[in-house]
Structure 1
Amino acid sequence: MKKQSIVLSILLIWNWTFTYAGSSSLLRNDSPQKNKKSSSEKNKGFVKQIVPKFLYTYLDFNFDSTQGDNFNRFQGFSNLYAAGADHIKLAHNFFAGLYLFRIDTYVQSQVVLAPADLILSKQDIKNNTLFGHLLKAFNQHFYIDLAGAYGQNNISSQTLLTPTPHLGLSHSVNHNWFSSINGIYKYNWKKMTTKLSVGGLYNQVVSDKKYITYPDQDIPVQTVKPLTNKVVYILESLELGYKFTPAMTPFINGGLIQVASFKNSRETINIANILGAVPQLQMNKNAFRIGAGISFKLKQLTLRLEQKYYNAAGTFTSNDTLVSFSYQFS
């Protein structure tokens, strides 16, 4: 049974990426203006084109890997909050977006790996991430999006050894980088809307050395060595929508996540010295997701509601509820 290594923010940010992908410039008229404008008018026009966006996501997840009497299981939930600005015009048909993310995650885990006994753990993870992207529109249908992010996870853990109860405490930090490139195709036919995205994502997570201490117990401090995880994913997504009215568009979507490369700097489990589960969300498993939702456009405000289901080889599953707001000044 392999110990999985992941960072929860990647799945959440990938969901958000496809939500904004291709949307910022598609609904805008970016043709050059023939009339000359003063610098003051240009500045006002630049500010009015910026689209502020806000996102809230609730995600619950479950992981269960069992082989005989051995198992590695964890369950938990995350709350994600994001705020930022998109459609920042850099040049003709060339835009940028910048976002700040806050992700609060709570995890409970249970591990049995013979000859060790049951180990229980709880983790409280606080993540802060800075995310940005560049979008180039080649025509009204085809776009290229480049994105990147840096995040930091502060992890507080409690580990309970059995059968004789020994409580271990630890605090650790890991650092998460990712970069991605996506080709986006959009096409509208009558009331039908189609959005297709294909791309790749590189993710690197560096976990610092951490120590597990057992206060008031005659157990030596345990050391967990640093770990670097590098993964390359291939991502495909498709979304279909139908405009019932100019203000209301229900949609369905789906996607695949394929692991092209997965490397750890060391083994992630040492049977002779079990240190408890360290569940994360980036595993060496191909996955799929399906979802549905509805988008409302009320004058200059756009509200998007969405529900998604994610499954990685039947071992890891999650349900994701997203609510996003955006506002167009002009």
Structure 2
Amino acid sequence: MMVELEELQQSARRVMHDLGLAATEDVVWSQIIELGWLLVSLPENMGGLEAGIKGAAIMHSELGRGLSTAPYLPAMLAADIISQSQADARDQLLESLISGELITTPLADSDITLSDNRITGTAIAVQAADQARQILVATSAGECIVLIEPAQTGVEIIPTPTWDQTRNLFEVQLTDIELSKQIVLAEGLSAVELTRRMYSLRDFALSADAIGGANALLELTVEHLQSRVQFKRPLAMFQALKHRCANLKTSVLAAEAMLSAALADATALDSNTARTHAMAAKCCATSMFSSLAEDCLQLHGGIGMADEHPCHLFLKRALLNNHLSGENNAYATAIGRSLAQPCRP
């Protein structure tokens, strides 16, 4: 890892540690804006750090470790797509987003159609939609990517309760939204490529989030086993539990290796190859996280079930990560089909 990325990781870890696990959304968001974390992957000519997808993955991993409640992921996706667009208002949009005016986007596949220049459908798993100034949506058939203001007629924001207490998600129902009155970021082939890029970035981010959360939870579990005493010995001294923790650490390292390899190969984020790598990394990391979280809860014993202990927060976040972006079973099928075909850019 480059020195600059190591320093970025250490800085983010210190900040998230000081804030505490699952700090409130407004507190975490204000820190993100104050420290300029939305600039991490943006190019230098737009005022960013130009750390690329690897820098973004580091940030998502550290926020995952801290069970971040802030809508950093959708905001980062919006910032990237806006920066890649040719919209006349691009610079103004980035400036307002970086200053704290949230632009969010769905974290799951949504059914949004364009017919007679009107947008209709439902955007699913839109984090912090109730706080957003604008919502970035891509039509399902790839005709366009637009920014929609939630205050206009035809937009209804519906809370979506989930087990995960660290993210506030909403459904956004769109009914006959006139395209000409929205900010269009991309159309045609450009929209198709940027949509593919956005979905790849979303999967890489969820992979990093899962790995960060898994590492943090495993560290908490090992600490518990070292301090909890049974039969006059710490639980960490029992060989069966040692082996179990070693296996869990191996699964985390395997997911880290897959993500690292996928990021290294994803030179063109709008390519089919990058899309396949991103799906594979997401499928591996999120399934690992949910399995690890279940094991760690068992290793904590009764205290792991207590509402006052953070173990359940990791488990609920892990289970939701499995379903965000795309279902892992569907991803596995898509990956298998892509591997069965000749490689194409």
Larger Rg: 1
TM-score > 0.5 by shorter chain? no
| TM-score, length basis structure 2 | 0.19
Q: Identify, as 1 or 2, the structure richer in helix.
A: 2
